[in-house]
């Protein structure tokens, strides 16, 4: 059962004309004084609510926040549980904690800022407040642990689709985990799992999208490699709209992936690949290799052609352009 504040907000959101306090009071079965108190509380949470004389209340502004109140009504799929934080060390850490406690698939941890955002390979994910998307999603896929890295490809594809839907810009994918606009990174994905050798307990898919960060918000050493959607589109991007689009695309692509594996998604992934035909160096724990990218295999492995035309499959590694 939703709270009186949530019901007042829902009523004002759907209204096309001012709504009188009396009408809301009757609908909710509480006094007008109580309505007034809830409206004040909503204002304190950042909602702009005009009280128009002899007409009623009008919602004129909502806070730019990715909590259940703002993001919840925009979610389109079955994943709806939001664990929101104004600030947190890392949404990944929190998602692991919730998952260990039994949180179901689709539970999402979202923060407005992170003090210890985690990137791949032990790096730091720069997480300034109120401008970007920091999301960790708990999944419980019935998969073998070896297949789990493919989920990072699925997530990247979903983020690319969401960016295209929300901004109209083409998003490209840099194997395995990065989403680029132009030649710069706008999103990083960190997939972590808790598993036994043969059984996955849970996966946490961490998604960081630079949405409205300004150039100055990036550390100087990142400015030539990273950008935000707002910088590239030239105007602010609706964060809740983008978050909802990411989750809708990911829920759909995840279902397709569980039903039929990565292979049906491969063509869509490759159509957005930033690396096809380019010469790259891949550094992995086992060593480095340079070659020309010849697409992906059905299991998401990168196909690298050597100078003699021989194809090498790369399952994991860090890619840099060799030229
Ligand atoms: C990368 O290195 O490219 C991956 C970055 C992943 C960052 C996201 S932000 C939300 C989630 N919480 C974290 O601490 N990291 C991931």
Contacts of 223 (CB under 8 A, 6+ apart): 215
Q: In angstroms, rounded to a whole number, what is the distance separating the alpha carbons of residues 216 and 222?
A: 10
CA of 73 to the centre of ligand 1 (A): 25
What percentage of the chain carries pLDDT values higher than 90? 93
Residue corresponding to tokens 């290799």:
289
Pocket test of ligand 1: the residue of 97, 120, 126, 134 to mutate, having most ligand atoms within 8 Å of its CB, is 134
Q: Specify the pTM.
A: 0.94
What's the confidence (pLDDT) of residue 1? 57
* Residue 92 near ligand 1, beta carbon < 6 Å: yes
The per-residue pLDDT for range 48-100, each reduced to its tens digit, is 999 999 999 999 999 999 999 999 999 999 999 999 999 999 999 999 999 99
**Considering only CA atoms, which residue is closest to atom 7 of ligand 1?**
208
> Residue range 214-243: average pLDDT?
94
pLDDT of residue 285: 83
Q: Are 193 and 148 in contact (CB under 8 A)?
A: yes
pLDDT in tens, 32-62: 999 999 999 999 999 999 999 999 999 999 9
Q: What's the 3-state SS for the chain?
A: CCCHHHHHHHHHHHCCCCECHHHHHHHHCCCHHHHHHHHHHHHHCCCEEEEECCCEEEEEECCCCCCCCCCHHHCCCCCCCEEEECCECCHHHHHHHHHHCCCCCCCEEEECCECCCECHHHCECCCCCCCCEEEEEEECCCCCHHHCCHHHHHHHHHHHHHHHHHHCCCCEEECCCEEEECCEEEEEEEEEEEECCCCEEEEEEEEEECCCCCHHHCCHHHCCCECCHHHHHCCCCCHHHHHHHHHHHHHHHHHHHHHHCCHHHHHHHHHCECCCCCEEEEEECCEEEEEEEEEECCCCCEEEECCCCCEEEECCCEEEECC
User: Which ligand 1 atom sits nearest the alpha carbon of residue 178?
Assistant: 3
Residue of the CA atom closest to atom 3 of ligand 1: 188
pLDDT at residue number 51: 95
Closest atom, ligand 1, to C-alpha of 177: 3
Bridge partners (DSSP) of residue 187 are 179, 209
Which atom of ligand 1 is the closest one to the Cα of 187?
Answer: 3
**Ligand 1 site, residue 156, Cβ cutoff 6 A:** no
Query: Is residue 120 in contact with ligand 1, taking CB distance under 6 Å?
Result: yes
């Amino acid at each position: 059962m939703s709270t009186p504040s949530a019901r007042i907000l829902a009523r004002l959101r759907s209204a096309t004309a001012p709504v009188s306090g009396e009408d809301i009071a009757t609908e909710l079965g509480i006094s007008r004084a109580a309505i007034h108190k809830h409206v004040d509380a909503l204002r304190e949470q950042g909602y702009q609510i005009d009280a128009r004389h002899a007409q009623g209340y009008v919602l004129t502004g909502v806070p730019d926040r990715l909590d259940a109140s703002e993001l919840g009504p925009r979610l389109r799929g079955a994943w709806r549980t939001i664990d929101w934080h104004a600030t947190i060390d890392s949404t990944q850490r929190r998602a692991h904690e919730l998952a260990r406690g039994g949180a179901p698939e689709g539970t999402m941890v979202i923060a407005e800022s992170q003090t210890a955002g985690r990137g791949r390979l032990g790096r730091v994910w720069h997480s300034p407040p109120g401008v970007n998307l920091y999301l960790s999603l708990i999944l419980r896929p019935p998969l073998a642990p070896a297949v789990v890295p493919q989920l990072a490809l699925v997530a990247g594809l979903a983020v690319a689709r969401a960016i295209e839907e929300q901004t109209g810009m083409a998003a490209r994918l840099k194997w395995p985990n990065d989403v680029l606009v132009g030649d710069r990174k706008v999103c990083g994905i960190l997939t972590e799992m808790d598993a036994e050798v043969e059984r996955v307990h849970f996966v946490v898919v961490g998604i960081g999208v630079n949405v409205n960060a300004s150039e100055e918000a990036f550390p100087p050493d990142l400015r030539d490699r990273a950008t935000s959607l707002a910088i590239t589109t030239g105007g602010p991007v609706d964060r809740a709209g983008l978050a909802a689009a990411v989750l809708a695309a990911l829920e759909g692509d995840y279902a397709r992936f569980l039903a039929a594996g990565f292979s049906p998604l491969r063509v869509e992934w490759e159509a957005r690949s930033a690396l096809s035909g380019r010469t790259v160096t891949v550094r992995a724990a086992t060593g480095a290799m340079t070659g020309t990218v010849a697409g992906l295999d059905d299991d998401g492995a990168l196909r690298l052609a050597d100078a003699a035309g021989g194809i090498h499959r790369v399952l994991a590694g860090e890619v840099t352009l060799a030229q």
